[in-house]
Structure 1
């Protein structure tokens, strides 16, 4: 699922991050007991009486994150993991996270990126909800903007994007949804490059339209897959009928593959390719952003901005026996460009990096991740929960 974001603001337990490196006792029963302080079981009594019920989890805890876009962020997060009554092992666990966060960059973020499976996965309901005040750096539009013209602008955003997908064959889902993206109260630097260039919708916009979607998802685990494919394609039509300010079309795809290269080890090789393609009267808020904590790690989100983006990455995930510790190495690259015919492999900007992992929840295979990514002339550190993809 496209989630600009979805992984960055899932749940980040502050106390666990601070303690698991410093106290080895937390790796045993004490760690399990400590984690249970933040875990609630809404249907525990019913699940104990009926073994066919899935025992739902509600994890609520202090949260912490760090990325160059947000600086240090702190707040409260909740993650609800559940299955509908009548769902067995053939139905994967539904995931509904909610995070309320404030960062040292004076941002506030309310976010949920959800993925819900009905019984026997006959339907998938996925999407994003976001309300935030977000300062962002701007360098101009295009793939060759200089770094020394950096300026900051601030805006508010309200995003609602539910998508309903019906199972047509096992793991193949087809459906549609709506997307409403309202950007307002934009604060720019007087006579800065954003005010001077004045791209369409630079001082605010509303994107309102319908999306068609196709999803193939046979991953064995939604939060941290070890095998399987994830392929999603959406195409959105935006206009003024539903209250939008611009008429344009936006196509996005996300292709991922996971495999275990060694039969007797739990190491994972993961691959991802994403695309963002827009045409028409595209507002500034809907242009593709190069760099993030999920792909092209090492570049600040929005270091390069254009209508189209194509990027990929390869990651090797190493686990150390039965311990909770792991490491990753990743490499990737991508480019933004104005017109589809402008893409050239010679223009791809590379990135690479290393990361540490700590297994927070063995049953859900959920990791805390600390990544150090490098770009052409930059490097950044990211602290989050769940894998980048």
Structure 2
């Protein structure tokens, strides 16, 4: 799903609804044993309205449940997000994301299912694309990411992942780039990439996660590493390999018992081998990494990026953030150069919806290399 680059964003209303999830099972041994309290789910329901050049007026809603299995507080809260919207130009998007810790954190199940029919700006491939040479393309796509991991010891999980991307109904709105100087960049890719394309892959995954809270960590470490193998044996139209890692760390600045100021850092790498269609290339920009740069403004086979963020409690339910990042994409790993990093940075606000579980609304404004800027309306922290 594309990042929320909102020219204007308006939150219409906010409603937090605690609801009983399930009654406790009857005691199978003795009626005198203590009865567990019912499990509870906290749900935030957020109608949203936004506007951006590609869509016109758009409207939709998000449902954000947060829950914990059982009464064991050492099991971190699980969460999900259901988001759907419709635009003035009859475009639509729907998505479900989830991060689930089973009782005792014996298993972690995470992933997403997304559909969207949305126009994008495509700037071709490379680390120094020009803003004036953007191409207009659109397509429909369904994406499924799923991973199931088993805990080996506290904080360490290993398992497997599956990813499917089904792209179809590709449309090139104009034969030329916006400045009229060259053909639409997608025409320079292999003609097969302008047809319906399916990629399907599996691979091993490792997660090391000691964060105190997965929605908005104050302290702890996080490492997500995986290898994806896509090929014809799995029904994929393209064969390629993707090695990916995402490392993060969080520190409380100042008195530890107050936790009003948090410093967060992240380093990310994506590396490909084989034949990779444009939709599966590594992208710089978006509402999570390199905010301020349009998602996909810089894309290629290999990517390295890093960012840092300071989060400060202000008053009531409001928090402020300052963030900055650097990133680079290249065709080969040996092409990375110290002086070729793109830059991005900005500031934002957080509105805490559920302070106990740290569920929040995120509004960021960022600027970046290539005369880029963007306003982002999203949920929970960027990382």
TM-score scaled by length of structure 2: 0.87
Per the alignment, residue 330 of structure 1 pairs with 323
Aligned to 1:198: 189
Aligned length: 362
Change (3 A) 1:174 1:69: farther
Tell me, which stretches of 5 or more residues in structure 1 are unaligned?
18-34
* Cα gap change, 1:125 to 1:62, in 2 (>3 Å): same
Partner of 2:247, secondary structure, is strand
The structural deviation recorded for 1:270 is: 0.6
Q: What is residue 235 of structure 1 aligned with on the other side?
A: 227
Among 292, 299, 304, the residue aligned to 1:310: 304
Q: How is 1:20-99 mapped onto 2 (pairs within 5 angstroms)? A: 35-36=15-16, 39-43=17-21, 50-64=35-49, 73-84=58-69, 86-99=70-83
Q: After TM superposition, give the deviation of residue 357 of structure 1 in Å.
A: 2.1
User: Is residue 224 of structure 1 aligned with residue 221 of structure 2?
Assistant: no
Contact 1:66 1:384 in 2 (8 A): no
- 1:248-327 equivalences under 5 Å are 248-263=240-255, 264-320=258-314, 323-327=316-320
Q: How many Å separate the matches in 2 of 1:70 and 1:292?
A: 17
Residue 107, structure 1, aligned to residue 103, structure 2: no
Partner residue in 2 for 1:173: 157
Q: CA deviation at 1:61?
A: 3.8
TM superposition shift of 1:111: 0.7
Q: Is the 8 A contact 2:312 2:321 kept in 1?
A: yes
Residue 147 of structure 1, CA deviation:
1.4
Give CA-to-partner distance per residue, 1:197-255, whole Å, 9 cap, x none: 02462433211111210001111111111111111011100101121101110111111
Two-structure CA RMSD over aligned residues (Å): 2.7
**Hey, what's the Cα distance between the residues in 1 that align with 2:365 and 2:202?**
37
- Of Structure 1 and Structure 2, the greater helix share is in 1
Equivalent in the alignment of 2:147:
163
Shift of 1:16: 3.4
Post-superposition offset of 1:65? 5.6
Partner of 2:133: 149
